[in-house]
Amino acid sequence: MSAQIPGKRRTTRDIALMRQQGEAIAMLTAYDAVTAALVEMAGVDMILVGDSLGNVVLGYDTTLPVTLDDMIRHAAAVKRGSGRALIVCDMPFGSVTDPDATLRNAMRILKETGVEAVKLEGGLAMAPTVERLTAHGIAVMAHIGLTPQAVHQMGGYYMHGKDDASAARLREEAKALEAAGAFAIVLECVEPALAAEITRSLSIPTIGIGSGKDCAGQVLVVNDLIGLNTSKPPAFARPRADVAAIIRQAVGDYVAETKAARQPITLPRRAE
C-alpha cells in the first residue's frame, strides 16, 4: 500500500517513508501541463522537469544550452498540470556556479514555479552547496555518476564505477551528499552492482537511470518510455509504446484526406 494519502500531494517525507517501507519509487520526466497530468494519472510518485528538455523538446544536442528561464517556464507548466506528484526541477548548466548563486537561482525556481524540490548534478564539490540550500529550507535531489552537464569534461556518455577508483569516488560522493542533506540521489549509468551497494549503504532513496533494478526508485525520460522520438532511445530504456508512429500515421491520414477532399483550384489567368 502506498505511503501517500490519496489526493494529497506527495512530500519529501512521503518519499522517505516509501524508502523505509521498501516501496519502489516511480519517477518520470515531464515538460508540459498535459504530459504532467497524464503521467500523474498513471500513478507516478515524482515528476522530474529535467534539463533533458534541451534534447527532447528544444532540439539541442546536449543539455548545456538550456537556460534557467527555460526551466522555470516548463516547470511552471508542469506544476499547473499536476496535483499529486512531488515535482523536482533541474538546475541547468551555469546556474550552480557557487553556493550563493545557486541559492538565489534555486529560490527563484521555487518562487516562480511552485515546485517542491530542485535537482543539481555533481559529487563532492556539490556537497557544500547542497548543505547551503537545505539550510535555507530547499529540498535537494542530488545526481552522480553520469552527469550530462559535464559531458564534455567527462569525455562522453558511458557507465561509471567500473574501476576501483571510480567506484570508491561514487561511494564517497553518495555519503557526502546524504550528509549534506539531499533527500534523494539520482544514480545515472552507475554499474548495477555498485548502485545496489550504494543504495544499501544510504538511508535516503537512490533513483536509478541506467543503473540496474536495485535502486530504491527509477526515473526515465518520458519520451524514451513512450517512443516519442525521432532517434533511438538509450540502450537501458525499453519503450512501452510507439507514439511517434501513431503521430506519423494520424498526420499522414489527415494530409491524404485533406488533399483528396479538395480539387485543385485553377486561378484565373492574368491579363497580359
Domain residue spans of the chain: 12-242
pLDDT surpasses 50 at 15: yes
Higher pLDDT, 263 or 271: 263
Annotated binding residue 121: yes
Average pLDDT over the chain, rounded to an integer: 93
The reply to whether 112 sits in an annotated binding site is: no
**Distance between first and last Cα of the chain:** 81
Q: pLDDT tens digits, residue range 79-133?
A: 999 999 999 999 999 999 999 999 999 999 999 999 999 999 999 999 999 999 9
Provide the pairing of β-strand 46-49 with 217-220: unpaired
Q: What is the pLDDT of residue 271?
A: 67
Q: Is residue 52 a known part of a binding site?
A: yes
90 is in an annotated binding site: yes
Measured CA to CA, the distance from residue 147 to residue 149 in angstroms comes to 6
- pLDDT of amino acid 9: 93
Q: Is 119 marked within a binding site?
A: yes
pLDDT band at 4 (very low <50, low <70, confident <90, very high): very low
HEC assignment per residue over the chain? CCCCCCCCCCCHHHHHHHHHHCCCEEEEECCCHHHHHHHHHCCCCEEEECCCHHHHCCCCCCCCCCCHHHHHHHHHHHHHHCCCCEEEEECCCCCCCCHHHHHHHHHHHHHHHCCCEEEEEECHHHHHHHHHHHHCCCEEEEEEECCHHHHHHHCCCCCECCCHHHHHHHHHHHHHHHHHCCCEEEEECECHHHHHHHHHHCCCCEEEECCCCCCCEEEECHHHHHCCCCCCCCCCCCCCCCHHHHHHHHHHHHHHHHHHCCCCCCCCCCCC
At 1 the pLDDT is 39
pLDDT interval class at 3 (50, 70, 90): very low
Catalytic residues: 188
**Arch. (CATH architecture) of 12-242:** Alpha-Beta Barrel (3.20)
Confidence of residue 2 (pLDDT cuts 50, 70, 90): very low
For 69-82, what is the mean pLDDT? 98
Q: Which three cell numbers stand for residue 104?
A: 538565489
pLDDT for position 22? 95
For 232-255, the pLDDT digits (tens) are 888 888 899 999 999 999 999 999
Nearest in space to 132 (alpha carbons), one of 158, 106, 112, 113 = 106
